[in-house]
């Protein structure tokens, strides 16, 4: 006969099922292919309008040895003179060590293609600043001078959101108009820096405009001569095994497995754990009797009665065990106890006298009643210990 689930088990299973469904939905959204999302900057992984996946794939098709680069500049494994670094609208600046590595790369003959105002925090001598305006529609720019960058290029389209503020004559403005510089190039050591005011010519939405493809290829050099490293490190992609695994469904799968394991552990422990009866205090416990009696005396303010009971108990023990008449006065009882038991007669007389007066005092305070009861109990305990001692003579 199959066992039915109780209400607690049903609630636990329903809650666990709903939680797993929510996790599956969240993991599906979080691990969607990155290339299908518009990330807002020209990442080579993004197929959105602002992405640069089309340009990156095109380079590989026309013969460029191109690869995504997710390491700091210090780790570039290729010869600088045969390498082009593409910083397509970097999102963050570099550390002092990384900027020093970029300067060394340029001094050794490397080439850097970079865009936007953040490039000044990476590449030396870049004098780019944000223009303060966002241009949604690209503008046309014509060549201002003859240069290898203008070969086969009559006009480019660019949404220039930054401007060049440098006054160095060695920095050549190749494309622009009036006060707006769109493409600037200059030498640094044995290397070359090419700066664009915006990444429009290499984005998925702008690469088809005007002669943008020709401009990109001119900046990179002839196919097969240069190794192109398309930087994703300054887009936030850090190349490590942990970062790679984090972009896969494995972390969410581990979370779901852990939650299922905890749910199974909880349900098993509820069914297979040791059964122990709750510990309850016996109603025959002496402490319960003492607590109850104390509460009664306290609520009734019957301290005088408690003193009277303790006094009568002591008198009964002394007269019975010492063979004395029960009608003895307090002073006579104290004299006999002091002679027979060796007790201090004045101290015993003081305690018994105070107790006799207290038992008739209806306004006796709880503190005084407690003190007298304790003293009487002390005498009772002393007498019982003496009476139980071996070899004690009984009168």
Sign of CA dihedral 70, 75, 78, 79: positive
**Region of residue 217 (left: phi > 0; alpha: psi -120 to 50; beta: else):** alpha
Summarize pLDDT for 44-65 with one digit per residue, the tens.
999 999 999 999 999 999 999 9
Which neighbouring-strand residues pair with 187?
A: 192
Return the pLDDT at 244: 54
Return the pLDDT at 37: 42
Return the pLDDT at 36: 41
Q: Do 101 and 177 touch, CB atoms closer than 8 A?
A: no
Q: State mean pLDDT over 250-255.
A: 78
Return the pLDDT at 390: 52
Return the pLDDT at 73: 92
Is residue 275 predicted with pLDDT exceeding 70? Answer: no
Q: Specify the higher pLDDT residue, 351 or 190.
A: 190
- pTM more than 0.75: no
DSSP code string of 154-189 = S-EEE---EEE----TTSEEEEEETTEEEEEEEEET
Instruction: Name the helix (H) or strand (E) containing 271.
Output: helix 250-272
Summarize pLDDT for 158-211 with one digit per residue, the tens.
988 888 887 687 899 999 987 889 999 999 999 999 999 999 999 999 999 999
Return the pLDDT at 136: 75
Is residue 34 predicted with pLDDT exceeding 80? Answer: no
- Reported as a pLDDT band with limits 50, 70 and 90, residue 268 is low
Q: Which of 46, 187, 79, 177 is nearest to 123 (CA)?
A: 187
Cα pseudo-dihedral 201, 204, 210, 212, rounded to 10: 30
Return the pLDDT at 158: 93
- Token pair for 61: 């098709």
Summarize pLDDT for 87-105 with one digit per residue, the tens.
999 988 889 999 999 999 9
Return the pLDDT at 5: 58
Q: Do 127 and 170 touch, CB atoms closer than 8 A?
A: no
Sketch out the chain's domains with CATH numbers: 30-246 (3.40.50.880), 287-388 (no CATH)
Highest mean pLDDT range out of 233-242, 273-282, 371-380? 371-380
* 3-state DSSP of 333-347: HHHHHHHHHCCCHHH
> Side-chain half-sphere of 103: how many Cα atoms within 13 Å?
12
* Contacting residues for 245 by C-beta, under 8 A, at least 6 apart: 251
Alpha helices of 84-240 — where are they, by DSSP H? 96-107, 212-220
- Reported as a pLDDT band with limits 50, 70 and 90, residue 317 is confident
Is residue 43 predicted with pLDDT exceeding 70? Answer: yes
Q: Do 84 and 226 touch, CB atoms closer than 8 A?
A: yes
Question: Could you give the 3-state DSSP secondary structure of residue 213?
Answer: helix
The rounded mean pLDDT for the chain is 81
Which neighbouring-strand residues pair with 164?
A: 128
Instruction: Catalogue the E-assigned strands of 28-126.
Output: 66-69, 83-87, 111-115
Q: Specify the higher pLDDT residue, 328 or 53.
A: 53
Summarize pLDDT for 111-129 with one digit per residue, the tens.
999 999 999 999 999 988 8
Provide the pairing of β-strand 180-188 with 191-196: antiparallel
How far apart are alpha carbons 101 and 191 in whole angstroms?
13
Summarize pLDDT for 280-312 with one digit per residue, the tens.
666 666 666 777 777 776 776 677 888 888 888
Return the pLDDT at 212: 94
CA distances in angstroms from 264 to 22, 155, 348, listed in the order given: 18, 67, 71
């Amino acid at each position: 006969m199959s066992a039915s689930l109780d209400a607690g088990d049903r609630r636990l299973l329903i809650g666990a099922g709903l939680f797993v469904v929510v996790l599956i939905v969240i993991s599906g959204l979080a691990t969607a292919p990155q290339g299908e999302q518009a990330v807002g900057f020209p990442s080579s992984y993004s197929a959105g309008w602002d992405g640069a996946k089309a340009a990156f794939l095109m380079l590989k098709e026309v013969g460029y040895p191109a690869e995504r680069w997710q390491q700091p500049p210090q780790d570039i494994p290729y010869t600088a003179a045969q390498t082009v670094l593409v910083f397509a609208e970097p999102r963050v600046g570099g550390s002092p060590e990384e900027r020093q590595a970029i300067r060394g790369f340029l001094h050794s003959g490397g080439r850097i293609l970079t865009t936007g105002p953040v490039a000044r925090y990476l590449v030396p001598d870049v004098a780019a600043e944000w223009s303060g305006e966002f241009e949604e529609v690209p503008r046309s720019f014509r060549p201002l001078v003859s240069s290898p960058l203008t070969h086969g290029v009559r006009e480019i389209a660019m949404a220039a959101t930054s401007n060049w503020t440098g006054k160095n004559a060695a920095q050549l403005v190749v494309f622009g108009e009036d006060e707006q510089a769109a493409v600037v190039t200059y030498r640094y050591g044995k290397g070359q820096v090419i700066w664009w005011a915006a990444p429009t010519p290499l984005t998925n939405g702008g690469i088809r405009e005007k002669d943008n493809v020709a401009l990109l290829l001119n900046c990179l050099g002839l196919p097969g001569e240069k190794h192109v490293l398309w930087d994703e490190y300054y887009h936030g992609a850090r190349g490590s095994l942990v970062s790679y695994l984090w972009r896969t469904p494995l972390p969410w799968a581990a979370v779901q497995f852990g939650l299922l394991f905890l749910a199974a552990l909880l349900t098993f422990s509820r069914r297979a754990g040791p059964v122990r009866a709750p510990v309850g205090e016996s109603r025959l416990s002496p402490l319960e009797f003492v607590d109850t009696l104390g509460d009664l005396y306290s609520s009734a303010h019957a301290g005088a009665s408690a003193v009277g009971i303790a006094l009568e108990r002591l008198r009964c023990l002394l007269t019975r065990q010492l063979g004395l008449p029960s009608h003895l006065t307090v002073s006579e009882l104290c004299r006999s106890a002091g002679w027979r038991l060796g007790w201090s007669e004045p101290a015993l007389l003081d305690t018994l006298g105070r107790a006799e007066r207290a038992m008739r005092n209806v306004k006796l305070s709880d503190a005084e009643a407690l003190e007298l009861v304790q003293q009487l109990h002390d005498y009772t305990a002393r007498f019982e210990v003496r009476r139980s001692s071996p070899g004690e003579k009984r009168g």
